[in-house]
């Protein structure tokens, strides 16, 4: 039976933010008198408030509200939607079938079509309900909870993946979220205008979505929730309690039961979200690690101590994009080790002295508070999470944040005693006062000497003293302002062209990565032909619905047997053949990398090597040669410890030979050993080496 009574929207607005397509709706529904439906009460049990079971098949749900449709036609599109009642396959009942036909016509974005019904607060007691559920079969869609408090159309919603079989969806209200670009509002189930089922599609395609047994639930059993829903529920419950009791989240003391619950949730989250969890460790080894940790939970401990307890999990996964973080600061001011350091050939050196005592810069630190520096380095390096078997990352990462690593293991020290060696002589110095992070930053500013950590300016350009080479240094593939990076790169190559210089040095040392489109843009400037960057992008089955929701309609993907989706075509940076510059630089190129050249900067090094574009100088980068992970899954904070667990949203397979450098980053053509004396003097031995090669 075709539903003839259809309501339309008076206006639909669309916005595109950060290349993510989001639909913005302004619903203006005809006002109708409300009659409390007798059938609703008659069919409700103690936990269920029915909305529609489609028994009468008369386009009127149990709230006496008609189902309506709207498409992109009001904005120049030509998409169509038809609602029909069909006989159910499983029992004597009917269900609602929405048939979609997508046509772009004058609509420049992704075609869409939706259906839904009007809902007002006084129609049912929404305050007593925990969420909504419905049965469905068919295409991926978004369930949208239209609220009046949202003024920028970033309505609360939940994306549901496709299913070829009938499946029941449970959506607690706390699982509804606004798009990232929206003005954040506090969700209230009482603030409601309409419930919407929204579908996007490719131009020329058709699809179907069938729904049945739409109902509100007063309680949703935990056994029916997904892993991320369980985490959100616990977090909300604990958060409400702490808000009432003013609990210091950072210094909370976790009970034995709290620790075991968080440990279990961590294991479930990693398995549920991580796209390549078992690249470097077997499931047996990871499960055994969790079992060993659980056996150590015998007493109460703080969130900080719990972080130390679970850290071995992240070490054996060997993914630099998978790590734990305490995101809430406590009221207590930690005092830190007051020297910036360098690690050269496994030895610890004073790089910059910020303390109240005289310690020569360049001195080798032999002991700190009675412990040998070699022992401390060995212990702290085990805490550094690395990609695969890359060891250079441990030294570079540790020296950059040594004071924090030290404090995480040895606690809040107010005084230090150091034994050091300088010019062949050893000396013991005590009474060295610890400093807060703010105090250290202030002293660095006065000295005008910063460690090689992430700090602006991220880009610089100049010529070597002998004028034989141009030098582009990029400390981070991230712009301060939109278009800033491209503008900077364009200006560099314009200056190089004018200078007639035939040698270019690209310095990516201590570049931890950033947006992939920027290294692609940089490489396009030095390639004489179109080039490949990514072969495919892998996304876990549990993440795919939300991931697809933000992609363009040209996406091509397939489901693999290992609970992964492989994306081979989409509006994703790096997928497909990349266009090179119309006027590329064709001279000699020298690439400088080190153990902190990670993520997208390591990708650049791999593509650079694969295409034999030039000479690589320095040390093994922080990222794997043929693959890496990226992005961050939202909502992965452990509810009891409040530790934020960084879990990658996807993995990318680079367009290189995956049989090379397995478990490692690209091997430099020239490995240059660091010299602490030159470092302290401000001399750059690796850059000098590159310039000497040009001579």
* DSSP codes, 170-202: EEEGGG-B--TTS------TTS-SEEEEEEE--
pLDDT confidence of residue 553: 55
Residue found under tokens 């007639």: 500
Over range 514-525, report the average pLDDT.
Answer: 95
Of 20-34, 37-51, 659-673, which range is least confident?
20-34
For residue range 253-312, list pLDDT tens digits in order: 899 999 999 999 999 999 988 999 999 999 999 999 999 999 999 999 988 889 989 999
Residue 524 tokens read as 């396009």
Residue 235 tokens read as 């977090």
Q: In a 3-state reduction of DSSP, which class is residue 590?
A: strand
- On the question of pLDDT at 491 being above 90, the answer is yes
Q: Cα angle vertex 158, ends 6, 641, to 5°?
A: 160
d(CA 641, CA 259): 8
The mean of the pLDDT values for the chain is 85
Closest C-alpha among 326, 288, 282 to residue 304: 326
The terminus-to-terminus CA distance of the chain in angstroms comes to 82
Over range 226-233, report the average pLDDT.
Answer: 78
Cα four-point dihedral sign 42, 47, 51, 56: negative
Beta strands in 560-689 (DSSP E): 564-569, 577-578, 588-593, 615-618, 627-630, 643-646, 650-654, 670-671
**Where does the pLDDT of residue 6 fall: very low under 50, low under 70, confident under 90, or very high at 90 and above?**
very low
Q: Do 26 and 74 meet the contact criterion of CB atoms below 8 Å apart?
A: no
Over range 557-562, report the average pLDDT.
Answer: 80
d(CA 493, CA 495): 5
In a 13 Å sphere around the CA of 469, the CA atoms on its Cβ side amount to 23
Highest mean pLDDT among 117-131, 274-288, 454-468: 274-288
- On the question of pLDDT at 241 being above 90, the answer is no
- On the question of pLDDT at 204 being above 70, the answer is yes
Cα four-point dihedral sign 454, 459, 464, 469: positive
For residue range 130-164, list pLDDT tens digits in order: 999 999 999 999 999 999 999 988 899 999 988 88
Q: Cα angle vertex 400, ends 397, 406, to 5°?
A: 85
**How long is the chain?**
695
DSSP 29: P
Task: Output the CA–CA distances (angstroms, integers) from residue 271 to 192, 279, 442, 558, in the order listed.
Answer: 35, 13, 43, 20
pLDDT top residue among 546 and 281 = 281
pLDDT confidence of residue 264: 92
- On the question of pLDDT at 328 being above 90, the answer is no
Helix, strand, coil: what percent of the chain each, to 5? 25, 30, 45
Q: Do 84 and 99 meet the contact criterion of CB atoms below 8 Å apart?
A: yes
- On the question of pLDDT at 8 being above 90, the answer is no
- On the question of pLDDT at 373 being above 50, the answer is yes
**Where does the pLDDT of residue 25 fall: very low under 50, low under 70, confident under 90, or very high at 90 and above?**
very low
Long-range interactions of 183-186: CB distance < 8 A, separation 24+? 183/150, 183/151, 183/152, 183/154, 185/147, 185/149, 185/150, 186/149
- On the question of pLDDT at 407 being above 80, the answer is yes
d(CA 120, CA 190): 8
pLDDT confidence of residue 124: 87
Burial status of residue 331 (CB atoms within 10 A of its CB: 0-12, 13-18, 19 or more)? exposed
d(CA 604, CA 461): 19
pLDDT confidence of residue 397: 92
pLDDT top residue among 239 and 335 = 335
Q: Using a pLDDT cut of 70, give the percent of the chain over it.
A: 86
- On the question of pLDDT at 24 being above 80, the answer is no
- On the question of pLDDT at 84 being above 90, the answer is yes
Q: Do 111 and 200 meet the contact criterion of CB atoms below 8 Å apart?
A: yes
Of 48-62, 170-184, 445-459, which range is least confident?
445-459
Angle of helix 303-317 relative to helix 402-410, nearest 10 degrees, comes to 120
pLDDT confidence of residue 16: 31
d(CA 503, CA 213): 69
Closest C-alpha among 503, 458, 452 to residue 476: 458
Going along the chain from its start, the domains and CATH numbers come out as: 11-225 (2.60.120.430), 339-435 (2.30.42.10), 459-694 (3.90.226.10)
Over range 68-89, report the average pLDDT.
Answer: 90
Of 280-289, 359-368, 473-482, which range is least confident?
473-482
pLDDT confidence of residue 352: 92
Beta-carbon contacts of residue 423 (< 8 Å; ≥ 6 apart): none
- On the question of pLDDT at 11 being above 50, the answer is no
- On the question of pLDDT at 243 being above 60, the answer is no
pLDDT confidence of residue 554: 63
- On the question of pLDDT at 165 being above 80, the answer is yes
pLDDT top residue among 269 and 5 = 269
Angle of helix 283-295 relative to helix 303-317, nearest 10 degrees, comes to 160
Of 428-442, 446-460, 507-521, which range is least confident?
446-460
d(CA 600, CA 514): 6
pLDDT confidence of residue 455: 56
d(CA 165, CA 39): 29
> What is the three-state SS of 40-57?
HHHCCCCCEEEEECCCCC
Beta bridge partners of 50: 215
For residue range 576-620, list pLDDT tens digits in order: 899 999 999 999 999 999 999 999 999 999 999 999 999 999 999
Pairing state of beta strands 141-146 and 323-326?
A: unpaired
**Computed over its alpha carbons, how large is the radius of gyration of the chain?**
29
Pairing state of beta strands 48-52 and 206-217?
A: antiparallel
CB atoms within 10 A of CB 610: 19
CB atoms within 10 A of CB 384: 20
Residue 237 tokens read as 């419950």
**Where does the pLDDT of residue 547 fall: very low under 50, low under 70, confident under 90, or very high at 90 and above?**
low
Beta-carbon contacts of residue 487 (< 8 Å; ≥ 6 apart): none
- On the question of pLDDT at 240 being above 80, the answer is no
């Amino acid at each position: 039976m075709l539903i003839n009574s259809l309501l339309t929207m008076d206006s639909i607005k669309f916005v595109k933010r950060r290349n993510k397509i989001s639909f913005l709706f302004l619903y203006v529904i005809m006002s109708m008198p409300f009659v409390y439906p007798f059938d609703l009460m008659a069919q409700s049990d103690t936990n269920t408030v029915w909305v529609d079971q489609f028994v009468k098949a008369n386009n009127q749900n149990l709230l006496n509200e008609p189902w309506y449709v709207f498409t992109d036609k009001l904005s120049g599109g030509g998409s169509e939607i038809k609602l029909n009642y069909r006989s159910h396959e499983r029992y004597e009942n009917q269900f609602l079938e929405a048939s979609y036909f997508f046509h772009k016509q004058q609509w420049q974005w992704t075609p869409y079509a939706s259906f839904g019904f009007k809902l007002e607060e006084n129609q049912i007691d929404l305050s007593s309900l925990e969420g909504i559920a419905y049965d469905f079969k068919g295409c991926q869609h978004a369930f949208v909870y239209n609220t009046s408090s949202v003024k920028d159309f970033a309505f609360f919603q939940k994306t549901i993946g496709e299913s070829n079989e009938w499946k029941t969806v449970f959506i607690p209200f706390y699982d509804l979220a606004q798009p990232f670009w929206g003005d954040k509002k506090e969700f209230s189930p009482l603030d409601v205008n309409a419930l919407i089922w929204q579908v996007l599609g490719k131009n020329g395609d058709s699809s179907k979505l069938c729904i049945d047994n739409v109902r509100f639930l007063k309680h949703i059993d935990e056994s029916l929730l997904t892993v991320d829903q369980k985490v959100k529920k616990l977090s909300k419950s604990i958060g409400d309690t702490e808000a009432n009791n003013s609990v210091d989240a950072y210094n909370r003391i976790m009970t034995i039961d709290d620790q075991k619950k968080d440990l279990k949730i961590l294991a479930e989250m990693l398995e549920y979200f991580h796209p390549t969890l078992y690249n470097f460790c077997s499931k047996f080894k990871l499960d055994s690690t969790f079992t060993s940790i659980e056996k150590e939970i015998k007493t109460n401990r703080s969130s900080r101590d719990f972080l130390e307890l679970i850290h071995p999990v992240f070490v054996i996964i060997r993914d630099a994009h998978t790590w734990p973080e305490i995101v809430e600061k406590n009221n207590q001011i930690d005092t830190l080790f007051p020297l910036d350091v360098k690690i050269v050939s496994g030895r610890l050196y004073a790089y910059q002295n910020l303390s109240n005592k005289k310690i020569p810069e360049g001195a080798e630190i032999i002991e700190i508070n009675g412990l040998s520096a070699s022992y401390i380095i060995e212990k702290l390096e085990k805490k550094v999470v690395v990609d695969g078997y890359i060891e250079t990352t441990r030294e570079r990462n540790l020296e950059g944040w040594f004071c924090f690593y030290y404090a995480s293991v040895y606690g809040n020290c107010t005084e230090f005693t150091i034994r050091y060696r300088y010019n062949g002589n050893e000396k013991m110095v005590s009474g060295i006062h610890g400093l807060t992070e703010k105090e250290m930053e202030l002293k660095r500013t006065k000295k005008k000497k910063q460690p090689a950590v992430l700090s602006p300016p991220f880009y610089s350009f100049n010529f070597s003293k002998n004028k034989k080479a141009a030098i582009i240094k990029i400390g981070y593939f991230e712009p301060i302002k939109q278009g800033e990076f491209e503008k900077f790169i364009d200006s560099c190559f314009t200056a190089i062209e004018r200078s007639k210089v035939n040698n270019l040095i690209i310095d990516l040392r201590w570049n931890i990565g950033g947006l992939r489109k920027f290294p692609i843009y940089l490489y396009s400037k030095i390639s004489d032909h179109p080039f490949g960057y990514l072969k495919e992008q892998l996304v876990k089955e549990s993440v795919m619905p939300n991931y697809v929701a933000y992609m363009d309609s040209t996406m091509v993907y397939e489901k693999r047997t290992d609970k992964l989706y492989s994306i081979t075509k989409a509006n994703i940076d790096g997928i497909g053949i990349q266009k090179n510059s119309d006027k590329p630089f064709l001279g000699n190129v020298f690439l400088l990398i080190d153990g902190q050249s990670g993520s997208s900067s390591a990708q650049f090094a791999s593509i650079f090597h694969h295409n034999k574009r030039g000479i690589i100088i320095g040390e093994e980068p922080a990222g794997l040669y043929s693959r890496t992970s990226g992005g961050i899954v939202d909502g992965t904070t452990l509810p009891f410890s409040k530790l934020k667990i960084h879990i990658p949203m996807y993995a990318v397979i680079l367009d290189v030979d995956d049989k090379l450098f397995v478990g490692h980053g690209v091997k430099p053509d020239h490995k240059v050993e660091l010299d602490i004396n030159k470092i302290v003097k401000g001399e750059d031995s690796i850059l000098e080496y590159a310039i000497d090669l040009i001579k």
